[in-house]
Amino acid sequence: MTVTRDELLAHCLAKPGAWEDEPWEGDVVAKVGSKVFAFLGAGTPPGQPATVGLKCGATREAADEWLLRYPGDASVMPYIGRFGWNSLRVSGLIPDDELLEAL
């Protein structure tokens, strides 16, 4: 079974104090207070895999573990990747329970 974007968003919003924001037109993020903890984007174009942007480690080196374990499904996020943020592909090799736990 593959988790959907809506299920990821619902999982995010079930966290204490979490709320949905759209700081850029069409780009959905999940926040607690003023801090973003998940980038869910604007939806997925047909034929493209869904991704979620997450802080995957306190350092870039710690976040790189995801890149090593899932080289085709994890990538460094543009601009903020140096701070430990990765894009994780949904419906790839990363198990749903690992994605949900990372959230």
What are the pLDDT digits (tens) for 14-30?
999 999 999 988 889 99
Does residue 46 carry a pLDDT above 70? Answer: no
Identify the pLDDT of residue 91.
77
Pairing of strands 74-76, 85-89: antiparallel
Does residue 1 carry a pLDDT above 70? Answer: no
pTM of the model: 0.87
Q: What are phi and psi of 79, to 5 degrees?
A: 75, -50
CA distance from start to end of the chain: 18
